[in-house]
Amino acid sequence: MLRAASLLSLSVLLSAAFAAHALEPAVPAPAKPADAAPAASATARAVSAGILAGIRQGAQQDRSAKPAQIQCVQAIAPDAVAAPVQQVIEASLGAEDRAALETFYASALGAKYQAAMLVNADPDKAFTPDEWARAKAVMDSPAYKKLRAATVSSNPLAAQKIGGVLNPLLGGCFKD
């Protein structure tokens, strides 16, 4: 199953929001009733989309990946890991930090920022100077720095939760 790790350059794949050992075996979390899972916030959906965008870009750039494998990775939904990202966010960030990030990501500017970052848009062309200053202020905030630290795979909780969902998805793309 970890054939995906050998076929895809993980340092490129997972550099967006989730680091290279996301594909390591995750310890399964105890099963929870479906209604116990928190709804994915705009923040969690944005992080999930960033993780998947990085993986898609890495797969596209990997010369050893077969077209069917790339197509499979491309077909993974952008919000595929939003639920476990939400769990990590709720366990790792305080209510004030979560609210500040959600205010941004749920806003029109947050949506515009997310869309631009997913396609590696030039901020000078995608935003007015005022919009970029406001978006950059969020990215420079302590709440955002905590979000980044919480959702990288070097965080054991992120590796377990996010990797636990991501591993089977990628494994399905790279089965023999």
Q: Output the tens digit of pLDDT for each of the chain's 176 residues.
A: 333 333 333 323 333 334 333 333 333 344 444 445 558 999 999 999 999 999 999 999 999 999 999 999 999 999 999 999 999 999 999 999 999 999 999 999 999 999 999 998 999 899 999 999 999 999 999 999 999 999 998 899 999 999 999 999 999 998 86
**Which amino acid is present at 58?**
G
Tell me which amino acid residue 135 is: A
How much is the pTM? 0.78
Look at residue 176 in the predicted model and tell me its pLDDT. Answer: 61
Q: CA-to-CA distance for 149 and 128, rounded, in angstroms?
A: 29
Q: Classify the phi-psi angles of 120: left when phi > 0, otherwise alpha if psi is within -120 to 50, otherwise beta.
A: left
Give the Cα separation of 80 and 90 in Å (integer): 18
Predicted pLDDT at 149: 95
- Alpha-carbon distance 14 to 138, whole Å? 22
Residues with Cβ within 8 Å of 60's Cβ and at least 6 positions away in sequence, in order, are 70
CA distance 157 to 71: 29
- Do residues 160 and 29 make contact, with C-beta atoms less than 8 angstroms apart? yes
At residue 16, the pLDDT reads: 35
